Amino acid sequence: MEKQKKIILRLSNTNSNLIGEVSDKVLAEISIKLSFIKQGACFTPAYQNGWWDGREYLFKKRKFPTGLIRLVIKVLKDNKQDYEIEDVRIKPISKISYGKFLYTLRPYQKDAVEKCIKSQRGIIKVGTGGGKTVIAMGLINALSLRTLFIVNTLEALVDTKNTFLKAFENETPGIIGYGKKQVGDKLTIATMKSVVNILNKTPNLLLEKQFGLIIVDEVHHSGSKSWFKALEKIDTYYRIGLTGTNFRTDGGGLYLQAVSGKKIVDIPTRWLIDKGFLVEPEIHFVAVKMKDNINYPMNYQDIYKIGIIFNEERNKKIIELIKSYPDKIKLVVFERIEHGDILSKMLSDEKIKHTLISGKTKDRDKLKKEFTDGNIKTVLASRIYNESADIPVLEMVINSAGGKSGIQVLQRIGRSLRIHKSKTTALIFDFLDTFNYKLEQHSNKRLTWLEKEKFKVTLEE
């Protein structure tokens, strides 16, 4: 009897192949392992008519994202299948001379850099304010490769550029975003939106550079198909994702692993606080009641408008909190621009100086600098300040937006936890919306995320 040929897992930078004789049973198990049920699939005609099983498959024609190789190996091992790995990747050896590195890394940051070099790909999870961008700069310095650094927002692009300028002497990065399409010889910082556009229209502008290292900031967004498809096109040996909160509650977590691989560094916010790298938050949930509860049937959009945006009692509490701490530097986060406009008008009526910032605001960089310098006391900001907004001077955050996302609630809190000489703690205010079962459910979910992070929360009437 002829001996079965050994199974080969042929690795490339982005996608790999399964080669050899594999039973239909094992192939089916791998296919299911490398798939997830799409949110809302059950509501589609294709699913209801039995044309689609509702799953998104990442294992097709024996091809799969290299970041998921450990899942393929697990299925093979569970089925007692012999295999060997054939690594056809070409490790970059062409070093680039960056300027003198000016940062002194903390011990945990050095350890993170070493793990990235050893693992070659993976996710770095560091609590907001723990210096994940500095870790990235340390990795760039250690590897000395041509690097593509992808960010989510224009604010993050500016912050990353400033960190790079502080990290390396006499260096200037290439910028893709803000209307610029300048690919650097050493480092290129780009927004994901710009990267997607370039890859769809003029891909050679990026791909011909042959980056040795790609770093994806706020990599949890890679759970979206558009991010995944874009990053799949960029052929790099070293692939590192950065996040402060890499959990996802939907199946997109598989895309996240596919892009960067498994989590290789996990430094919780609680640990950073206990070690003195961040300040302790003082979190208050203020109960909001209405004379007439709004628990009658309506869609969520209407619930949000009545219960959050146009809720006079709730908005008054926000204004009172701002007035109660006149000397503190405050950030009020809102979700919808109309809510920001309402709060801004209420503050103007009270003759309270403030600045409203959203994606449509001109001179955002200038206003942010005034804010970070402490020249603006109160800022109302949209979700553009959820991520990558480095504001160490920030002393107080009010979450007026509600919502149930654990990622967003921790990001918003994290904005104020950075060490600064002006503070020893950070004040956080949120709301327990008791007048509607859906909004109360969302409030309780935010509380649950905070408890998971071992934060102390005070409930106030």
Q: Does the pLDDT of residue 194 top 60, yes or no? A: yes
The average pLDDT across 321-348 equals 95
Q: Quick one: pLDDT at residue 223?
A: 62
Nearest CA to 150 out of 171, 122, 123, 177 is that of: 177
Q: Quick one: pLDDT at residue 383?
A: 77
Rg (CA), the chain: 24
Q: Does the pLDDT of residue 335 top 50, yes or no? A: yes
The answer for residues whose C-beta is within 8 angstroms of residue 225's C-beta and 6 or more apart is 56, 255
pLDDT tens per residue across span 33-66: 999 988 888 889 998 888 999 999 999 999 999 9
pLDDT tens per residue across span 244-300: 875 666 666 788 888 888 899 999 999 999 999 999 999 999 999 887 788 888 899
- Confidence category of residue 140, pLDDT binned at 50, 70, 90: very high
- Confidence category of residue 23, pLDDT binned at 50, 70, 90: very high
**Could you give all domains of the chain from N- to C-terminal order, each with its CATH number?**
7-87 (3.30.780.20), 107-267 (3.40.50.300), 277-460 (3.40.50.300)
d(CA 238, CA 211): 9
Q: Quick one: pLDDT at residue 53?
A: 92
The average pLDDT across 152-164 equals 90
For the chain, the first-to-last Cα distance in angstroms comes to 78
Percentages helix, strand, coil for the chain, rounded to the nearest 5? 40, 20, 40
- Confidence category of residue 1, pLDDT binned at 50, 70, 90: very low
Q: Does the pLDDT of residue 205 top 60, yes or no? A: yes
Nearest CA to 383 out of 352, 360, 353, 417 is that of: 360
* 399 contacts 457 by C-beta, under 8 angstroms: no
* 415 contacts 456 by C-beta, under 8 angstroms: no
Output the DSSP codes for 56-104. Answer: EE--BTTEEEGGGHHHHHHHHHHTT--EEEEE-------------B---
- Confidence category of residue 204, pLDDT binned at 50, 70, 90: confident
Q: Does the pLDDT of residue 2 top 60, yes or no? A: no
Relative to beta strand 263-267, strand 121-126 is: parallel
Q: Does the pLDDT of residue 390 top 80, yes or no? A: no
d(CA 288, CA 300): 18
More confident residue, 382 or 147: 147
356 token code pair: 């409203």
Q: Give the up-direction half-sphere exposure of residue 132: CA atoms within 13 A in the CB hemisphere.
A: 32
pLDDT tens per residue across span 61-116: 999 999 999 999 999 999 999 999 999 998 998 889 999 999 999 999 999 999 99
Q: Diameter of the chain by CA atoms?
A: 89
More confident residue, 124 or 260: 124
Round the average pLDDT of the chain to a whole number and report it. Answer: 89
Q: Which helix (H) or strand (E) holds 30?
A: helix 24-33
- Confidence category of residue 385, pLDDT binned at 50, 70, 90: confident
Q: What is the 3-state secondary structure (H, E, C) of 151-176?
A: ECCHHHHHHHHHHHHHHECCCCCEEE
* 208 contacts 198 by C-beta, under 8 angstroms: no
The average pLDDT across 111-132 equals 93
pLDDT tens per residue across span 102-115: 999 999 999 999 99
Q: Does the pLDDT of residue 394 top 60, yes or no? A: yes
d(CA 414, CA 418): 8
